[in-house]
Amino acid sequence: MLGQAAHLGFTIAELLITLGIIGIVAVLLLPRAFDYIEEQQFDAARKVVLKNVGEAVRLVSLNTDIRSANDAEDFVENYLRKELKILKTCNNEKLRECGIETKENGIYTIAETHTTMPTTINDLATNMSKGTYIDPSAESYGFVLSNGYSANLFYNKNCISDNKDSAHYVQDMMCVNIIYDLNGLSSPNQVGKDIGFVTIFYPGIEMRAVSPIIYNNNTNGATFYTVSKLCANINSKLKGPDKEEAQAIYINNFALGGAVASYITTTSADLDYAWTMSASSGFLNKYEKNRGSWFRCVK
């Protein structure tokens, strides 16, 4: 080895320094590489959940009125289970048996703060009671998908269509909300890493299922015209949320760690105004397209 190093023109000291630099670079880059792999795995899993669960709920809606069930348990056992392979179900008091961590402050938000897994509609976000028809006290129901993912389902038997042209609260438009966990009770139990959500709005043919990955930014200065470009500048895969994605951000406000701003969306309300979504109240309001606003980015 000594002979080889000398032959190549390197001293032992130079060789050791070079190896040290390589080691330092590896230490710096490896966590980023692991984070990238983790992000790709979560994104792929999110798409699977969105496709499978969203399609199953759509089939339920095609076969009957999605609002026919009495509660979340009835919806899962007697409607969803006909369209989706479910390995196990758990009532609201035994959600941990389905891999849903319900210990106090047992999960992390995207802001890496502690929070507790919601078990009633009221726990999902502040001001869920602002809705006219939704029952904030309605309890969730748990189940395990065929791929082993855990799911915590919330059901609104009185959800309504998107038939409002003026400002309004969006709570009543949520039909189903599912918080899923890719690896059950195992760590990290953090939104955006192994915990995500699928929100399904509106009954009937206008139904839409969304599952945005929320980027941990809470920034001011975007307009309707610039929000997606500003998000893409952060990461090429990010964009501004459309109306339903922003509504899902509110419905799952627990995941944000207490966000209170109103966020601009990429959905027009009319020629001059876009929709903005209050993350604290669930109020969807019209906002001038060329006026600066707070924004969140999603994937």
Query: Is residue 109 scored above 60 in pLDDT?
Result: yes
Instruction: Measure the CA–CA gap between 2 and 290, rounded to whole angstroms.
Output: 68
- Say yes or no: 14 and 120 in one domain: no
> Is the pLDDT confidence value at 40 over 60?
yes
Quote the CA–CA distance of 34 and 85 in Å, as a whole number: 32
**pLDDT(242) > 60:** yes
Average pLDDT, integer, range 110-128? 96
The yes-or-no verdict on residue 25 having pLDDT over 60 is no
**Domains: count for the chain:** 3
Cis peptide before 188 (omega within 30 of 0): yes
Closest C-alpha to 178, from 237, 272, 248: 248
Helix, strand, or coil (residue 68): helix
* 187 and 255 together in one domain: no
What pLDDT is attached to residue 24? 66
For residues 173 and 228, state if they share a domain. Answer: no
> CA dist 237 to 122, 232, 269, Å?
32, 6, 25
Q: Are residues 42 and 185 in the same domain?
A: yes
Residues 56 and 176 in one domain: yes
- My answer on whether 155 and 122 are in the same domain is yes
Mean pLDDT within 79-106: 98
SS3 142: strand
User: Final residue of a domain: which of 180, 210, 240?
Assistant: 210
Torsion sign across C-alpha atoms 243, 49, 175, 258: negative
Q: How far is CA 92 from CA 86, 141, 171, in A?
A: 17, 5, 21
| Whether the predicted pLDDT of 83 surpasses 90 | yes
Q: Are residues 181 and 232 in the same domain?
A: no
* C-beta of residue 287 within 8 angstroms of C-beta of residue 175: no
Average pLDDT on 35-42 reads: 62
Same domain as 204, residue 57: yes
Domain range holding 116? Answer: 33-210
Same domain, yes or no, for 109 and 131?
A: yes
Q: Domain check: are 99 and 60 in the same one? A: yes
143 shares a domain with 49: yes
User: Is residue 48 predicted with pLDDT exceeding 60?
Assistant: yes
What is the per-residue pLDDT for 23?
62
Confidence of residue 108 (pLDDT cuts 50, 70, 90): very high
